[in-house]
Amino acid sequence: MASDGRYQPVRTFILILSACLLSAAGKPDGQDGKTLPHQIQPKEIDEKAEKAREPLPSSTMNTNTPSRHDQPCPTGRDDRDSDLCAQWKAADAAKSAADAAWWIGGAGVLIGALTLLTAIAAAAYARGAARHTKEGATQAKRASDAAEEALTHSQNASRTDLRAWVNIKAVLIDYKRTKDFAHFSIEVSLSNLGKTPALDVEISHQIHARESIVINNGSLPEIVPFPHAMPPLMPNEKSRQTFGLRIANQEINRAIQTAAKSRCAVMAVIDLVVYYHLTFDEPDTSKRMTSIRYTIHPDIDPQQFPNAWRQIGLKWIDDQNYMMDRLIFAQDKSAPTHLT
């Protein structure tokens, strides 16, 4: 127990220190010599208020403190008594107006540009459409003209295939010489080689005394102004008619004199012309025509002709005893049959 007696003074010191600390923590307010705020007397409060109303010395005033008119204008604050705020508000309004004008102007320019581009595109489209329309109209007209031309060719080809074609053939059936005339009788045969009828058929005939040198020139037969009416011709139908032709002495003598000067023979030339209408002709359409030429001359041997032309070639048509069996009646090949 010697150890317990050795630590007794230490324990006593700790107990005394703990008692002092507890005593200090439990002391009431104001007992430490200081005055708390709730312990200030009314008199002291009045004195402090009077001191607060007194103006501050100029040395203690802050010259950098702004007045109400110089107060700043924070964002979102609307102070109508502040000049700076009013200026900032005006600047903000001007900036907003400028921004709005810029955007509106930009939008107007953009809309105008789009409108201009749309107008240009519409004009280009309209121009292209007009060009295509014009080209289409031109092509349509060409196609129409081609179709019309093809139809015309088709109609013409069809009419050519179906139309009437009148052919002429003639034979010499008699010849005699009288005091004033040389008489010739011929039989004319008409035939329709086409597929439709030949209407309003008429035939003209003429006979001439000509020198042989001008006969074979390929000219068309002369047209007689007073044709002779013939019956209509159906397809593959034939019609025959006998005609008496004559040449007067005056014409015979003139032909003999002309042939003697030209050292050629005299020939009798017969021209035949047939006129007719087709079934699909219009009323005012000119008549179709078929023409042919025949010649009558002595049957002279070519080897004897140089010496015989004067005795036979000139005088046969004036010789009352010249017989028909000594004559040649033939188609003039230099003036072939003409069909219109």
pLDDT score of 168: 93
What amino acid occupies position 16? I
Residue with tokens 């107990």: 15
Say which residues have a Cβ less than 8 Å from residue 137's Cβ, sequence separation at least 6: none
Residue ranges in the chain assigned as alpha helix (H): 2-6, 8-25, 42-53, 83-162, 249-262, 305-308
pLDDT value of residue 220? 54
Name 280's Cβ contacts closer than 8 Å, sequence gap at least 6. Answer: 159, 163, 196
pLDDT at 307: 65
Strand 327-331 versus strand 288-298 pairing type? antiparallel
Sign of CA dihedral 133, 136, 142, 146: negative
- Provide the β-strand partners of residue 228: 203
Q: Are 305 and 313 in contact (CB under 8 A)?
A: yes
- b/e string for 211-240 if b means 16 or more Cβ within 10 A? bbeebeeeeebeeeeebeebeebeeeeebe
Whole-angstrom distance, CA of residue 329 vs CA of residue 235: 29
Longest pairwise C-alpha distance within the chain: 219
Close Cβ partners of 66 (under 8 Å, ≥ 6 residues apart): 72
* Residue 184, helix vs strand vs coil: strand
pTM: 0.56
pLDDT of residue 115: 87
First-residue to last-residue Cα distance in the chain: 178
Sequence-ordered alpha helix ranges (H) in 237-331: 249-262, 305-308
Nearest to 271 by CA among 221, 224, 227, 230: 221
pLDDT of residue 2: 47
d(CA 4, CA 60) in angstroms, rounded, equals 70
Contact 79, 89 (CB under 8 A): no
Angle, CA of 56, 61 and 66, to the nearest 5°: 125
Q: What was the pLDDT predicted at 24? A: 56
DSSP count for the chain of H helices, then E strands: 6, 9
pLDDT for the residue numbered 324: 86
Tell me the two tokens of residue 49.
């208020």
- Predicted local confidence at residue 175, as pLDDT: 93
Q: Per residue of the chain (340 residues), what is the pLDDT tens digit?
A: 445 555 566 566 676 766 666 665 555 555 555 555 555 555 555 565 555 555 555 544 555 555 555 556 666 566 555 666 777 777 777 878 888 888 888 888 888 888 888 888 888 888 888 888 888 888 888 888 888 888 888 877 887 788 899 999 999 999 999 999 999 999 999 999 999 999 999 999 989 888 775 544 545 555 656 789 999 999 999 999 999 999 999 998 898 888 888 777 888 999 899 999 999 888 888 899 888 889 898 887 666 656 666 667 777 888 878 888 888 898 887 765 666 6
Residue whose pair of structure tokens reads 């709730």 in the numeric block: 38
